[in-house]
Amino acid sequence: MGLTFKAIALSDRGLIRDGNEDAAIISSALVAVADGMGGHAAGEVASKLAITKLQASHEQSLLAAADEINDEIAAQQSDDKALSGMGTTLTALAMIDDEIQLLHIGDSRCYKYSKGKLTQFSYDHTVMQELIDQGRLSPDEVSSHPQRSLLTQALMGNPGISPLTISIPANKDDTFLLCSDGLTTVLSDSEIAAIVKKSDFAEIPAQLISATKAKGAPDNVTVIWVEVSDSPDSYMELLGAARG
């Protein structure tokens, strides 16, 4: 029997934004979150496009799917000038032949959770992360920096994208957290881990979003909690902008 994902997720517009530009999918073989950007609902268009195209093609190649999404964003921008500047992050895990494959571009995140600790599995494609890597900024300085959300990579229809791809063996009971930056710009990794540690499986997304709202929730926030399982059950749920 092959391994699958047992996942639960919530997507919320937060307390400030008028709409939800996050989109997400959970299923037995694919989980993903996309955080759209662009005015006049263009962010919703981009994040929905990312999730629906990924859903249709992830079994072939996650990297090829990212290229297709990027090309389609470029095509839609060319056809409709109102969509100029739209784009999206994308962070996805796929279960393929009992291997977990990560595709990531942008600043949504994937963590592995083990023994009460979160380990970031993705890499932030941000100016801030580059400055940290260069030793010009400490992680503690990021939260108050005016350019903390400035991306260096995203799916925006531009050539030369370099998504992160990683494959690791899947092990039953491994657990992962995927989220948009509406969570991680408000709660620290240690705060997230503390909430996860004290919460039951089914409560984790709701508890994390509740904690985000208690601190103002200035952005859309999407949380996916994933456990590797040997259950044969098949399911699929779309969230946020992907539902429309």
Q: Evaluate whether residue 69 is within a structural domain.
A: yes
Number of H helices, E strands in the chain: 7, 12
Q: Return phi, psi of residue 84, to 5°.
A: -60, 130
Note whether 25 and 32 are within 8 A (CB): yes
Q: Evaluate whether residue 136 is within a structural domain.
A: yes
Grouping H, G, I as helix, E, B as strand and the rest as coil, residue 195 is: helix
Closest CA to 110 of 96, 124, 126, 128: 124
- Counting the structural domains of the chain, the total is 1
Q: Evaluate whether residue 242 is within a structural domain.
A: no
**Token pair listed for 60:** 């072939």
User: In terms of C-beta density within 10 A (0-12 exposed, 13-18 middle, 19 or more buried), how is residue 139 classed?
Assistant: exposed
Give the chain's mean pLDDT. 93
Mean pLDDT of 228-239: 95
Q: Evaluate whether residue 138 is within a structural domain.
A: yes
Q: How far is CA 122 from the centre of its chain?
A: 10
Identify the residue with better confidence: 33 or 135: 33
Is pLDDT above 60 for 74? yes
Q: Evaluate whether residue 239 is within a structural domain.
A: no
Query: pLDDT digit string (tens) for 189-225?
Result: 999 999 999 999 999 999 999 999 999 999 999 999 9
Q: Evaluate whether residue 190 is within a structural domain.
A: yes
Alpha-carbon span 149 to 218, nearest angstrom: 13
Residue 134 binned pLDDT confidence (cut-offs 50, 70, 90): confident
CATH label of the domain that carries residue 74: 3.60.40.10
Q: Evaluate whether residue 16 is within a structural domain.
A: yes
Task: Characterize 145-184 residue by residue with b for buried, 16 or more Cβ atoms within 10 angstroms of its Cβ, and e for exposed.
Answer: eeebeebebbbbbeeebebbeeeeebeeebbbbbbbbbbb
Q: Can you give the pTM of this predicted structure?
A: 0.95
Q: Return phi, psi of residue 180, to 5°.
A: -80, 170
Is pLDDT above 80 for 158? yes
Q: Evaluate whether residue 11 is within a structural domain.
A: yes
Grouping H, G, I as helix, E, B as strand and the rest as coil, residue 156 is: coil
Q: Which structural domain range is residue 162 located in?
A: 4-231
Cα angle 154, 19, 161 (rounded to 5 degrees) comes to 5
Q: Contacts by 120-123 with C-beta closer than 8 Å and gap 24+?
A: 120/189, 121/166, 121/176, 122/91, 122/164, 123/164
Closest CA to 20 of 244, 186, 242, 240: 240
